[in-house]
Structures are given as structure tokens and as C-alpha cells.
Amino acid sequence: MGKLAIIILSFASLIVTLAYGQEANKVPEATEIWNAEPIKVTPGANNSAPSDAVILDASMWQSVDGGANPWQIENGVMTVNPGTKDIHTIKSFGNVQLHIEWRIPMLDDKFKDQDRGNSGVFLQQFYEVQILDSYTNKTYNNGQAGSLYKQYIPLVNATKPAMQWQSYDIIYTAPLFGKNDSVISPARMTILHNGVLIQNNVALLGPTEYIGSPHYKKHGDLPIFLQDHNHKVSYRNIWVREL
């Protein structure tokens, strides 16, 4: 058999093999996965924690000064005790799904702008989701409720009036760092406010700064912070799933 005939037969054999592979992929079983069963989780009812969540009740928080939780605690509700400073979780976290419910106190009309029910929840200490009375209160748009403070304006304003309980459901992806503090991938957040999507997988530019431009600094897992901004904002039903 000549070389040309051998080449032709080999090529024909390759075509048959490829065709057979393509036919095999048309069999349903070829694309079924049976050996990667997801872990079973029992969902919670009415925003209660699912079975694999960490419950962040009052005992899971401490003062930024390292002492016991200094906020007012009553019937499972934590309320800012103005002047006692921020609190943070005893445990540190990275990637998480966080559920948190919050309530703005009733304030008279002299409280306006950023001085109206101001607080915040900080993922990994540095990345703030703003809490504020934004029902009818005018302020800078990247500082209203649901903003990633001074970086991302919420897609819509889903705020309820003061004294009504509200919720944030936050999907947080921690930043990844390389050598020399280089950023491999930035922090990202998706947020639902009262069940409404307000931040859609946005990439943070760095920590949320009050003054100046954001710049990343390398860090690992860190606590979640709640802010004392001199207003009696209340929190309840806080839970987190580590992702």
C-alpha cells in the first residue's frame, strides 16, 4: 500500500472517530453528572436563617475597642447606643451571603441629608453599604440608602418609611490580591433591598472612603462592622452563609 493510500485511510479513520464522538455526545447520558451531589440545606421561613448559616445575634458582636457589645439589646434587637462606637463580629469572614434587617428611628424634620438615621454595614471592615432614611430625604445619590458609599448609586430607591423594618440581602465576593499588593480581582457585591435588586454584581474600586479616592490595600478575612453614626438605628435577624 502506498503512502498516499495510508494517509487517505488514516484521515478517513479520523473522520469516523470524530463522527462517532459527535454521535456519542447526542446520547443524554454523555452530559449527565452523577458524582457531585450538592450539600442539602434547609431554607429558613420568612427570612429566617437557612440550616447552614451562622446566626449573628448580639453575642457574636463586640466593641471596636475589644470589649463587650455596648449597644442596647432587647428582644433580639440591637440598637446603636450613640457615642459607644462601632461594633464588629468576633469572627472574620471572606466571601459571604449576608442577610440583615434594619430600622430607622422616627426623627423630626430638623434631621436632614446625612444626619437622618445614618449607619452602615461594612463587609470585611472596609466596604460599606449605606444605611440612611432615604424615603423622602434628599442627599448625595452615592450616599443614600443602598449605595456602596461614594462609589455606586443604587439602581432604584426601595426605601420604606422610618420605623418600618427593612432588609438587605448581600452577596459579597472578597478581593483577591497578588504579590506587592496587586489586585487580581476586586471586591464585588450584589444587593437586594427589601427584595428589590439595587446593586448588580458591581466591582468596588477599593475601600469606601469618606474623603479621597479609594485604593486597595492587601488584606485577608476580616470582621463585619456595624456603624455608630450617632443615630439610634436598630438591627435584627442577622445571619451569614460563608461561600
Predicted local distance difference test score (pLDDT) of residue 13: 55
User: Per residue in 2-25, is it b (16+ CB within 10 Å) or e — as a string?
Assistant: eeeeeeeeeeeeeeeeeeeeeeee
pTM beyond cutoff 0.85: yes
Residue type, 202: V
Predicted local distance difference test score (pLDDT) of residue 36: 92
Residue type, 176: L
- Angle, vertex CA 194, rays to CA 189 and CA 195, nearest 5: 70
Residue 58 pLDDT class (50, 70, 90 cuts):
very high
User: Which of 9-13, 42-46, 98-102 shows the highest mean pLDDT?
Assistant: 98-102
Q: Please report, for the chain, the start and end positions of each structural domain, with discontinuous segments joined by +.
A: 1-37, 54-242
| Nearest to 168, CA basis, from 131, 206, 117, 217 | 131
List Cβ neighbours of 46 (8 Å cut-off, separation of 6 or more).
none
For residue 17, pLDDT over 80 is answered with: no
Pull the grid cell for residue 75. Answer: 428582644
Pull the grid cell for residue 220. Answer: 485577608
Block residue for cell numbers 439602581? 155
pLDDT in tens, 103-144: 999 998 899 999 999 999 999 999 999 999 999 999 999 999
pLDDT in tens, 141-181: 999 999 999 999 999 999 999 999 999 999 999 999 999 88
Residue type, 140: Y
Helix (H, G, I), strand (E, B) or coil at 168: strand
Which CATH superfamily includes the segment(s) 54-242? Exo-inulinase; domain 1 (2.60.120.560)
Residue 216 pLDDT class (50, 70, 90 cuts):
very high
Instruction: Tell me what the mean pLDDT of segment 52-76 comes to.
Output: 96
For residue 22, pLDDT over 80 is answered with: no
Residue type, 73: I
Q: Is the dihedral of CA 231, 49, 186, 221 positive or negative?
A: positive
For every residue of 58-121, DSSP letters joined together read: GGGEEETTSSB--SEEETTEEE--TTS--EEESS-BSSEEEEEEEEPPP--TT--TTSSS-EEE
